[in-house]
Amino acid sequence: MQRWINDELEDMDLKDKRLVKRLGMLLDSFTKKPSCSIPKACESQAKTKGAYRFFGNERVEADKIREGFFKKTAKRASKFKTVLAISDGSDFCYTSHEKLEGRGALKKSFMLLC
């Protein structure tokens, strides 16, 4: 597992260390293959099954995961005098472009091959 993942999860409170460990394994898989499906990123049937069990676990709460990342980010940011929080709110919509009139809805998937 990548070292930064252990650092990121050291204060994660999911009430069960096994869940934190599984989250770390998922982060490791997903950051190595970010555009892949869960089965492709996990690379084995056992890891894929573990991922789906994690996501289906009633004790896994998205708010708790976000809270852990928020706290870790705040902890890192507190070491600096100035922190820039940059956001890209761009949105492109070409459906009303005159040369596309009558062409139907624009649909394009940008999935990298895994």
CATH code of the domain containing 43: 1.10.246.40
Q: Is residue 88 part of a domain?
A: no
Report how far apart, in Å, the C-alpha atoms of 87 and of each of 16, 80, 90 are: 33, 19, 9
Q: Is residue 53 part of a domain?
A: yes
pLDDT tens-digit readout, 53-100: 999 999 999 999 999 999 999 999 999 999 998 988 777 666 677 776
The string of DSSP codes covering 49-79 is: HHHHHHHH-TT--HHHHHHHHHHHHHHHHTT
Q: Is residue 92 part of a domain?
A: no
Q: Is residue 36 part of a domain?
A: yes
Q: Is residue 99 part of a domain?
A: no
Q: Is residue 16 part of a domain?
A: yes
Give yes or no for residue 51 having a pLDDT over 90: yes
Give the domain range for residue 63.
3-77
CA-CA distance, 34 to 110, in Å (whole number)? 12
Contact 53, 47 (CB under 8 A): no
Counted domains in the chain = 1
